[in-house]
Amino acid sequence: MVTTAFALVVALIDRGLGLNRLSQLARRVTFVLIPPLLLVFLLLGTIFLGIATPTEGGAMGAAGALLLAMLRRRLDFRLLRQALDSSARLSIFVVFVLIGSTVFSLTFQAIDGPHWVEALFASLPGGRLGFLLFVNALIFVLGCFLDFFEIAFILLPLLAPVAEKLGVDLIYFGVMIGLVLQTSFLTPPFGFALFYLRSVAPKDAYVDTVTKANIAPLSTVDIYKGSLAFVALQVAMVAAVMIEPNIIVAGLGEQKALDVENVNINITAPDEEEEEPPPALGGSAPTGKQD
């Protein structure tokens, strides 16, 4: 990030003072590529460094996007309204998925569904390894058709208790599920990441404004072929994590388990003043200590 910021400062000085020491391609790459990199740092870098929580990182990313739009003089009421409308639609979608998953989870627990799921996975051959293989295959298939929210809010609450009872570290389990989902989002023909790339890839041939070269259109088949190498890398990573869990859990340190049966709770009441005995009938109340 220091190198990126330095390149941006040099390009700004070159353009501001009219030195023209940088080529047209270098200036174009600097002003087109570096601002999005700074935006990525505001969103993810602050989270990785522990400066912001995920919610605060999202707010910093939104503020950075608004600032970039203002600097490029593209921020107007129409664009702001479109951004707010898209954010509201996505937020409502997530909230309704969360409500539906909560209703489903409560109903499933009311009919003793978790016990049925636990008995189902307990009958799988292979024990812990068989459970992980089956879950990875299930998540991979569902990730080709469903978005992350449905899997995270509905399926994972059913699988996490079973994984914990089988002795699977939940942090390791969550990271592994994330790797499998990332792999499923890259696989044709239902990979969500491939659809995002299709939306920005050129459909027709065009002439590059810098190199003046004719650029051929990018077909959907080309996108599918290009994703195969990344899918192979992801599958290799999932296999490595399953074979050697220490890749994930080695840096977590020693985890201490709480022994509930040996927990001692000591409650000490505050000292209370001794109450004086009530006066005897027909006598006078005591006025103090007697000799």
Q: Where are the domains of the chain?
A: 1-75, 112-250
Q: Which residues, in sequence order, are CB contacts of 63 under 8 Å at separation 6+? A: 42
Is the Cβ–Cβ distance between 29 and 10 less than 8 Å? no
- Average pLDDT of adjacent 10-residue blocks, the chain of 291 residues: 82 85 81 83 86 88 88 87 90 86 83 80 79 89 82 84 85 90 82 80 80 82 87 91 86 66 70 56 50 47
Beta bridge partner(s), residue 214: 207
Report the pLDDT value the prediction gives residue 249, as an integer from 0 to 100: 82
Give CA–CA dist 180/156, Å, rounded. 13
Which amino acid is located at 147 in the chain? D
Report the pLDDT value the prediction gives residue 209, as an integer from 0 to 100: 75
Report the pLDDT value the prediction gives residue 89, as an integer from 0 to 100: 92
Which amino acid is located at 291 in the chain? D
Report the pLDDT value the prediction gives residue 291, as an integer from 0 to 100: 47
Residue with tokens 């910093």: 60
Which amino acid is located at 138 in the chain? L
